Chains A and B, each alone.
Chain A
């Protein structure tokens, strides 16, 4: 089956840079996705890596190393509104549904 590991909590101050790591074990790999979820809200898509390397989208970047089964989400110029849970995800064995990691709670303070 699919399993993903990520830190449970990260704290940082406004303006800082934070990296959230994710290691995965999968039967079949189609790419690594990252989602943000605020309390009580729906997950929103942040980034996706199918190939090795860095993908940059504004303040957020995501990296993938398929040989290491490892990826990370990099958040720059942190703002208070970035306080949320962040999930890495892979597709299931059927290649259809997303399977999520346990999530990392990011707390940004002033």
Chain B
């Protein structure tokens, strides 16, 4: 079945630094991947759609200069949280769709900014 690998699973960083999160499709090619953010006890909020070889499409209210997305290959999308602040602390999850087989999610990255 479709497997999406996400790294790191957790990260702690200092305020003002940048953090990169990787999302890989292991056994299929994903021309499109999706990035979500989830605060405790809340829903998954779509941040952006990552398109291989082109610019990402960001949802309203998501700062594209703060959340940099790169989808340079058919199996890898990265999300970089730039100049992180404590309010960016959250659970970030990526997802990919394999044909008609539905959506597969990465295991998530818990980011804590101190």
Contact = CB atoms under 8 A, between A and B. Distances in A.
B102 A48 contact: yes
Interface string A31-65: 00100000011111100100000000000000000
Contacts of A87: 43-44
Contact of A98 (B103, B108, B110): B103
The A contact surface, by secondary structure, is loop
Interface stretch (A12-20, A21-29, A74-82, A99-107): A99-107
Interface size class of A (residues with CB under 8 A): 20 to 34
23 contacts: A33-B103, A40-B91, A40-B108, A40-B110, A42-B106, A42-B107, A43-B44, A43-B105, A45-B102, A45-B103, A45-B104, A48-B102, A87-B43, A94-B49, A96-B32, A98-B34, A98-B95, A98-B103, A99-B46, A100-B44, A100-B45, A101-B43, A103-B43
Closest 7 CB pairs of A and B: A42-B105, A97-B34, A102-B43, A100-B44, A100-B43, A42-B107, A43-B105
Interface of A: 33, 40-45, 48, 87, 92, 94, 96-103, 105
Given A40-B91, A41-B107, A97-B49, 8 more contacts: A33-B102, A40-B108, A42-B105, A42-B106, A97-B46, A102-B43, A103-B43, A105-B41
